[in-house]
Amino acid sequence: MPGLAGVIVTRFAPHADERGVFAEIFRASWPTGVAPIQWNLVSSQAHVLRGVHLHVTHADYLMCIAGEMKLVLKDARPDSPTSGQVGVHTLGEHEPAAVTIPPGVAHGFYFAMPAKHIYSVSHYWNVDDELGCRWDDPALGVDWGVTDPILSPRDRDAGGYEAMVAAFVDKRARAEAS
C-alpha cells in the first residue's frame, strides 16, 4: 500500500563498529520536505500517548532515537489524493529512520516503552497552528491496540476528529486568503 501523500520516510544508513553506531540523520540535500528552523527533544515514559495533533502550516521531520514509537498518521486534507487514509509506522533505535509529516496530516505517538524522539519543524511553534482531537475518537478510525494510555490534560480533553478537520479547513482557507 502506498503511503499518504506528502509523507516521506527517510531511512538512515547506520555504521556500526566495536565503539557503537554512527548514522547521519539529516542533510539539507535530502528530499525531506522540511527546512528545519527548530529542533526539539522529547522523552516519554512507557504507556504514554501524545496526540492526536494536526498543524495548519508547519511540517515535522521526526525520528525515535531511543526505545520505540508507534506513529499513527491520518490525512485530514480534503483535497489530498489520500484524504481520510491512515498510515502506521514503527520507529525505533534499531532501524533508524525519519518521517516527514506535512501540514494537514494528523499524527499521534504511542510509546509502549520509555523512549526519546527528536523532531524539527519548518516554522516556529504557534498555538494558532496547533489543532487536536481525541486519540480514541471512532471517526479517527485508528486501533491503537491500547486502552487507558497516559495522556496530557490537553490531549485527554481534546474534541472530536470532525471538529478538528473543520477547524483545519477554516484556518487553511483564512491563511491562503491573507
At 26 the pLDDT is: 93
Q: Rounded CA gap, 43 and 132, in Å? A: 20
C-alpha cell at 173: 482557507
* C-beta atoms surrounding 11 within 10 Å: 10
**Radius of gyration for the chain, computed over Cα atoms and rounded to the nearest angstrom:** 16
**45, amino acid identity:** Q
What length is written for the chain? 178
Per-residue pLDDT of 7-23, as tens digits, reads: 999 999 989 999 988 89
Joined together, the cell numbers standing for residue 18 give 566495536
Question: Is the pLDDT assigned to residue 1 strictly greater than 80?
Answer: no
| Whether pLDDT at 151 is above 80 | yes
Residue 95 binned pLDDT confidence (cut-offs 50, 70, 90): confident
